[in-house]
Amino acid sequence: MSKRTLIASTVMGAFALTGSAAVSAVTLNDLHKEEAKIHAAAAKSQEKINALFEQSQELLVEYRQTVDQTENLKVYNDYIASLVADQQRSIESLQRQIDSIEETKQGIVPLMFRMIDSLEKFVELDVPIHLEERRERIQRLRDIMANSNVTVSEQFRQVIEAYLVEVEYGSKMSSYQGTIDDNGTEVTVDFYNLGRTALLALSLDQTSAWVWNKDAREWQALGDEYLASVVDAVKMANGTITPDLIKLPIEAAE
């Protein structure tokens, strides 16, 4: 090979090496850039993954809370349902009671009228203790029964109360003023009753006394031997003297 040819070859080889090194440098830079892009993309992807993970954890917590709330609501709804069922049973029970009250009223109203009639007959046949007061009480009962503003329960209460007052007359000692018919003459007197055992009358001037005869149903004059005892009886009933033994005309029990 000639020297000219050798030099030319050498020069061409140098140019070839220089061009190859330049190409390699460009390729390596590109690789670094691509790798940087990949790392950046991977970092962004990791951030997205972390964000999604956190969201999933939050959603999991919310889900669990929702499940717990659902269970609590189910328990509460079951409780409310039991209350509603109990209230419904109470309503049905009250309705049955209301229906029974109406039926009871239908039976008790006639009963009260019969009780008032029986009480009136008893008063007229009984010893005439506080006679006018007792007659007025019976009339009030009849007025109450005709008053639509008075409840059935209140009507029944007053009828029973009237019966209790009648019971008290048989166990009390009392004195009060009134009038009697003495052979066609109206006389103002002090009455004295010892339960239903004895009913006596004393003139206001304390000069005359009478006793109620149950069989004859009339007033009979008492002898002077009873006058002082009747005076003391009236005083004891009025509380002006201390109760003591006295002699009174008491009918013997048959």
What confidence tens digit (pLDDT) does each residue in 139-197 have?
999 999 999 899 988 999 999 999 999 999 888 899 999 999 888 889 999 999 999 88
How far is the CA of 14 from the CAs of 4, 21, 90, in angstroms?
A: 16, 11, 112
From 140, 170, 200, give the residue that closes a domain: 170
The answer to whether position 66 is within a domain reads: yes
The answer to whether position 11 is within a domain reads: no
Tell me the residue type at 69: Q
For residues 166 and 128, give the distance between their C-alpha atoms in angstroms, rounded to a whole number: 12
From 121, 151, 170, give the residue that closes a domain: 170
- Judge if pTM exceeds 0.75: no
Is 4's pLDDT higher than 70?
no
Note the pLDDT of residue 166. Answer: 93
Residues 153 and 206 in one domain: no
Is 237's pLDDT higher than 80?
yes
| Residue 120: CA count within 13 A, CB half-sphere | 14
Q: Between residues 91 and 15, which one has the greater pLDDT? A: 91
- Please tell me what DSSP assigns to residue 239: T
From 170, 204, 238, give the residue that closes a domain: 170
Is 6's pLDDT higher than 50?
no
**pLDDT, tens digit (0-9, with 9 covering 90-100), for 59-83:** 888 888 887 888 887 888 888 888 8
Question: Which residue segment(s) compose the domain that 186 sits in?
Answer: 173-253
The answer to whether position 23 is within a domain reads: no
**pLDDT, tens digit (0-9, with 9 covering 90-100), for 153-169:** 899 999 999 999 999 98
For residues 227 and 210, give the distance between their C-alpha atoms in angstroms, rounded to a whole number: 9
Token pair for 132: 């006018």
Residues 55 and 166 in one domain: yes
The answer to whether position 45 is within a domain reads: no
Please give the tally of structural domains in the chain.
2
For residues 206 and 116, give the distance between their C-alpha atoms in angstroms, rounded to a whole number: 38
